[in-house]
Amino acid sequence: MKMLIADDHELVRDTICAFLQSEKDISVTVAGNFEEAAEKITSAGPYDLVLLDYTMPGMDGLDGLKKAMELNYHSPVAIISGTIDRTTAEEALALGAAGFLPKTIAAKSMIHAIRFMAAGEQYAPVQFLTEVEETEKHPLAGKLTEREMQVLEGLVKGQSNKEIARDLDLQEVTIKLHVKTLCRKLEARNRTHAAIIAKEEGLF
C-alpha cells in the first residue's frame, strides 16, 4: 500500500509514520503543506490513500479535499484533524472523502482505519459522531458557554460555589457570576432550580 500523509506538524507526521513502520506492506510519503502534497500526488500518484490535515497551510478546508481527490484520480483521500466538528466531518464524507481520523485515535484503530479506507470503504469514529450528536439533542446546551456548562454540572452534583471554583481553578466570585448568568439563560429561579432543569433536560 502506498500512502501520503500531509500535515504541517512534524511531530504528528513522525508519530503516524512510527505507528506504520511495523506494517511491512505500507509505504509512507510525507508532505508539510497542501502545495507540497499536491505536487507529490501529481508526480508520484495516485496513492492508495492520501491523508490530509484539515487545517494545514494551503488546505483551504473542503476545497483542498476536493482538489486532492481530483489529483489522486478519485482514489481514497481522507481528513485528519484535532479540531474538526461533526458537521464539517459529515460534509467531507458527503463530498466523497474516504473518512475522517481524529488526532486522538489510538494506534491500532488508526492502522485498521487506514486499511479500511484504502480498501474503498468510508471510515468515521462512531464515538466522535455520537458524542456530538447527543449534545445537539439538547437545545438548552446551545444557550450556555462551555464554562457555564461546567458550572452547571457542578450544581447538578450538589457542589457549592467554593467547591466548583476549586475544581475549575477559578475565583469563587467568578463562579457566582456564572451561576447568576446561567440561571437567567435557563429561566431558573435559583441554583437548585437550574440543576433540576438540567436533570430534566438530560444535559448530564
Return the CATH number at 88: 3.40.50.2300
User: Average pLDDT of 68-84?
Assistant: 92
- On whether the CB atoms of residues 47 and 2 are closer than 8 A, the answer is yes
DSSP 8-state class, residue 123: B
Higher pLDDT, 36 or 128: 36
* Domain co-membership, 70 together with 128: yes
How far is residue 55's CA from residue 8's CA, in Å, rounded to a whole number? 9
User: Average pLDDT of 163-192?
Assistant: 93
Which residue has cell 447538578?
156
Per-residue pLDDT at 126 exceeds 80? no
Q: Which residues contact 177 (CB under 8 A, 6 or more apart)?
A: none
User: Average pLDDT of 102-117?
Assistant: 88
Structural domains of the chain, count: 2
pLDDT for res 21? 77
| Nearest C-alpha neighbor of 88 from the set 50, 120, 60 | 60
* Domain co-membership, 108 together with 14: yes
Which residue has cell 444557550?
143
Question: What share of the chain in percent tops pLDDT 90?
Answer: 61
* Domain co-membership, 90 together with 121: yes
pLDDT for res 192? 94
Per-residue pLDDT at 196 exceeds 80? yes
* Domain co-membership, 37 together with 124: yes
pLDDT for res 135? 46
* Domain co-membership, 41 together with 22: yes
Question: What share of the chain in percent tops pLDDT 70?
Answer: 94
* Domain co-membership, 155 together with 90: no
Q: Output the domain CATH number for residue 179.
A: 1.10.10.10
pLDDT for res 131? 58
**Burial grade of 158 (CB within 10 A; 0-12, 13-18, 19 or more):** exposed
- On whether the CB atoms of residues 163 and 133 are closer than 8 A, the answer is no
Residue 133 pLDDT level (bands cut at 50, 70, 90): very low
**Burial grade of 117 (CB within 10 A; 0-12, 13-18, 19 or more):** buried
User: Average pLDDT of 130-150?
Assistant: 69
Enclosing domain of residue 103: 2-133
User: Average pLDDT of 14-19?
Assistant: 86
* Domain co-membership, 36 together with 86: yes
Per-residue pLDDT at 173 exceeds 70? yes
> Of 113, 133, 153, which one is at a domain's C-terminal end?
133
Cis upstream peptide for 139 (omega within 30°):
no
Per-residue pLDDT at 23 exceeds 90? no
* Domain co-membership, 104 together with 7: yes
User: Average pLDDT of 99-127?
Assistant: 88
